[in-house]
Amino acid sequence: MDSEIARPDKETVGPELYEQLGKKWYEAGDDPIALLRHQHQLTNPWMLAEIRKNIGYRAEILDIGCGPGFFANEAVKLGHKVTGIDISTTQLRVAQLRDATKSVRYIYGDAYAIPYPRESFDVVMAMDLLEHVSDPQKVLFEASRVLRPGGLMFFHTFNRNFLSYLLVVKGVQWFVKNTPADLHVYQLFRKPEEVEEWIDNAGMDLKVTRGLAPVLWQAGWWQLLWNRVVPESFQFRWTKSRLVSYIGYAKKLREQ
């Protein structure tokens, strides 16, 4: 990670805190990041299989809004060349700490102005990002700009309707400890047809979308409801419905 990015936190926070943060994001259940961690246990194998099938075993991947590195640190183990960017230096440090290969390039970066030239990557990830930005179309244009023709852009986000509001906004606040009140802003949730239009405008062709949801009535579900902690046994599943949460990928076919 670039030294000029790392320096401010390094001067005020000791390395032992980052070790604690790493354990929290990768192990703790009393935080909503645990749901994201378990979601990636379902989505990572599928995305990596699609990358292998469409691109190959040695893709150059950019993970926008990489957070604590749930995807990047898995992709690099399979031989891909991975760069993760985020605006949180703390999460970048956690991601770097948990990179067993010490080969992911983690940098501070803005999704609206990705610091790479055109056609730099085979794959771009925009996972759990579109619902956290005010101009998702600009993010998708940037993703397309740095993507090579034939490359893939993956995304995951939340639909905008009453059910998603009830489950994702209110439900997480009610049932998971330490959930910030502004973790999700309902007005920033994205309908599938909106995302498809933005993808098309950015010069990409939507190839696949599929829904995912927590497994109801699992033992982990009841433990979550009982003590507001996400257990390690908690699981997500694929579903035909995109009513709440959906994932997909597009292929870049033309110039913007």
Show the beta-strand stretches assigned E in the chain: 60-64, 81-86, 105-108, 121-127, 147-158, 204-214, 236-239, 245-252
Domain of residue 200, residue span:
3-252
Could you tell me the pTM of the whole model?
A: 0.90
The token duo for 122 is 């085979």
* Lowest pLDDT segment from 41-50, 95-104, 181-190: 181-190
Of the candidates 82, 73, 74, 80, the one whose C-alpha atom is nearest the C-alpha of residue 58 is 80
β-pairing verdict for 60-64 and 81-86: parallel
Across the range 76-88, mean pLDDT stands at: 96
At 155-168, the pLDDT tens digits run 999 999 999 999 99
For helices 89-97 and 3-12, the axis angle rounded to 10 degrees is 100
Q: What pLDDT, on the 0 to 100 scale, is given for residue 225?
A: 83
Handedness of CA 215, 219, 222, 224 (dihedral sign): negative
Euclidean distance between CA atoms 22 and 97, whole angstroms = 7
Q: Is the pLDDT of residue 126 over 90?
A: yes
Q: How far is CA 80 from CA 57, 101, 190, 233, in A?
A: 7, 11, 30, 29
CATH code at position 225: 3.40.50.150
Name beta bridge partners: 242. none
AA identity, residue 175: F
How many domains, in total, are found in the chain? 1
The whole-angstrom separation of Cα 228 and Cα 206 is 37
